[in-house]
Amino acid sequence: MNNELERNDNAGLDSLVEQISNVQDVLQGVAAHAINLSLTARNWLIGYYIVEYEQNGEDRAQYGANLLNTLSKRLNRSGMEPRRLREYRQFYLFYSFLGAEIVKYLRNNATFSLLADSNQKWRSPTAILQTIENEGNGILRLPTAKLEEWQT
């Protein structure tokens, strides 16, 4: 009889282990995907703002080639070194067509309201979206650029 109880306990424990493992695996994947979406949006927006500043900034002539060095020093944050800022700019230039999807992602999250309500000189994601929508067919729209197809 003790052997039968042990088998039932082991079966129950095996089921518990399987359920917890499934929850861990699925939700860890969901969390990784959410983090990747947020980082992609962040990188794109930072690159966008750098490019916009370079093209329209008042102090552009003063900073010239030192813009990213100066910006890095003024930001004084981890992950905002000149090399990283250069990568964000390159990311935006290469994936500029993701604008509508980035703004859609931000709109579907609380993040958008935080960014859109900030009182800043540079354009909010709302203004970015308006520009993207106004450009219409001028923006390359690849099927792989859809938000649902972003990969982790």
Amino acid at 26: V
Domain-embedded: residue 10: no
**pLDDT tens, position by position, 121-132:** 555 555 665 555
Domain-embedded: residue 47: yes
Domain-embedded: residue 8: no
Domain-embedded: residue 40: yes
Domain-embedded: residue 2: no
Q: What is the pLDDT along the chain (152 residues), one digit of tens a residue?
A: 566 656 667 878 889 999 999 999 999 999 999 899 999 999 999 999 898 888 876 555 555 568 899 999 999 888 899 999 999 999 999 999 998 888 888 888 766 666 655 555 555 555 665 555 555 444 433 333 333 444 44
Domain-embedded: residue 61: yes
The total of structural domains in the chain comes to 1
Domain-embedded: residue 20: no
Tell me how far apart the alpha carbons of residues 130 and 132 are, in angstroms, rounded to a whole number. Answer: 5
Q: Which two tokens stand for residue 8?
A: 């039932």
Tell me how far apart the alpha carbons of residues 35 and 30 are, in angstroms, rounded to a whole number. Answer: 9
Tell me how far apart the alpha carbons of residues 66 and 71 are, in angstroms, rounded to a whole number. Answer: 8
Domain that holds residue 42: 32-149
Percentage of the chain lying above the pLDDT 90 cut: 35
